[in-house]
Structure 1
Amino acid sequence: MSFKITNLQNETIDFENLTLNVDEKIFQLQASNNFVNVRYEPKIFDSAFEGKKMAYYFFQNAYLNAENNIFQVYHEKTRIGWVFPIQALVSNENDFAENIYFSQYKYSTYKEILSGGIATKKININSQDSYSLIDFFEDDIIIFCVSLEKLEENNMEISDFLPSFSKYGYYIYEQGDNTILRDNDKANFFLKHTKTQKLLITKSKVKLSDHTFLQNLYYNYLKKIDDKVLRFFMLYQVIEYFLDKDFNYKFDKILKNYEEKKIDKNTFRERINKSSNERSLINNLTAFINDDDLTVDFKRDGKLFLENFGEYDKNEVGDIIYDIRNLLIHRYRDIDTLDTEKIKIFQIITNQLEQIINSYMINYYR
């Protein structure tokens, strides 16, 4: 394993044989004709996790990127790691600088990055100098450091947890393309859900790696595409995926009852027709939303938006989603006539729909 650094001449150099001078708090790595010294800058030096199975991942967040946006990460009831801006590795001005548990993860992050990471900045190395870790990386990177030994599988496929991270505005960092949109309407939502300084993450019931569209959605589209109508339709595609799953589940159940002669042919036909109704299927999915505040907010804002186009008396999340979808298809030009405040409501609805989709991904069990 090596730490890869690309110089200004576009030559990539592998630095290996990581060693640590404990007294001077200097990590040193060697290349064939060069070496690099990296300062260990945290106030507390704690190597309690030495030899433990650890991993780190780079994220971006347009909202929670200040030096004090440091959070413990819990999976079920166990703390498995920390999320923090890369600046927290080199600064001692944040509220967690002297936290012993966070210090253990900071040390592990240094070791993991310098043992097998790839610098995102180009830099010419002078072996006479010592470097800060942030000299090699963009300063908007957010790090998730995790103790794999605290997970049941003793491993982590990060894509399985992206819907949970998306709930808090975290998206995977891509080297060479760090575009990420900021929507001020989202800021209060994320701040509200991080007051406890803890992020609760859950493994998605849907494996993203099995679905190209879902992978692209969480790795690229959600953090880059600004058009609210396009975002709405992308999110509705995920609903279509769950509609198919839910219909297949119900169809198999009805068919089994028919084959076992528990229902007659007419009942079979009636139940199939009812189960294939898209509006009913969407309403059934709302059982997998586990955020009461989100449900209340979406109903209020969705109805407020739909009332711009006539009287609206439905009050179910599924009805509102379905009717907004129909409105966008059949009366798209009418939306262009709305004033700024009414368009803003639609933007808020689209943000809420993203959170609803995250709930489906995390909670759907059929």
Structure 2
Amino acid sequence: MKNFTEAKRLPIMAGLLIGGFIGMFSETALNIALSPLSTKLGVTTGTIQWLVIGYLLMVGIVLPLSGLLTRWFTTRQLLIFALCDFIVGALIAALSSTFAFLFIGRLIQGIGTGILLPLIFTVALAIYPLDKRGSAMGLIGLTIMFAPALGPTVAGLILGALSWQYIFWVMIPFLVVALLIAIKFTENVVPITKPHVDILSILLSTLGFGSVVVGISLASNKGWTSTIVLGSLLVGIVALFFFVRRQLKLPAPILNVKAFAHGGFSLGTGLVMVDFMIIMSSMYLLPIYWQRALVVPVALTGMLMLPGGLFNAFISSISGRLYDSVGPRKPAMLGFLVSIVGA
């Protein structure tokens, strides 16, 4: 592995982190605007929810293919494409006046986020030595956890003074800066091997992960016993079963599911999933609850989301160093203990 100095690591990570920040910011910034958006665009609550479902659907489809993409395209190509893709999606959303165009913009943004998020971790693991990876993960955690916490606050302030389109306009300058940094500093850090592309695996992955995302997302509106929810989940689970089975047999799998044979990896991944689901769902539900049940003004709702985001950023900035010094067990136990107390 090529040795990177700190002076080289920072600009390489800068473009990725800014792009990842905006990707995660976009995921929750619109949550606070869903209620007023349904009124302004003349659609039902169930329809407006597809702005969230569609975004997550594209992330869920693209993200599992990240391993294949990094072996076919350079880090530079992927980062530049993802940032350009996100800029186009943000422009379409910012210029839209109908639900259809806004939905298309969100789908395009989801593709960019699906590429960016795994790319951040791939690059960090490639350019940071083992003894500094905890600090690197802390920096990434600061980015991807502070952004969704900040999203509702910024969106609330924007909606209090301007139209909802400015939620997307505010993203574009940051994305342009990230793009310029990527063009100047990003270099490839993952070997290009161009393995065989198994089309059936891609189809099974798309159908499996996509159906599961749709089924879970629709459950809040349709109910868990709804035919469409149960059908989507069943199709997704069956497709994922055959996807996993196929990956175990392929010499160059799209997703290395054999990693789950290691107990520590499976446990850690499961815990991260549970924790992240709780955090992201609370960021979606709290703004709706405050606005509709407690009749809190939209700008104040955004401000109520800020303290948690600031505290999260502070903890993320030191958690990586804790990992480097004492390992993962104690910080993880402390983190879940605090989450239980908070809940």
Q: With structure 2 as the length reference, what TM-score do the two structures score?
A: 0.21
Q: Structure with the greater relative contact order (CA < 8 A, sep ≥ 6): 1 or 2?
A: 2
Question: Which structure has the bigger radius of gyration?
Answer: 1
Richer in helix (by share):
2
Richer in strand (by share):
1
Q: With structure 1 as the length reference, what TM-score do the two structures score?
A: 0.21
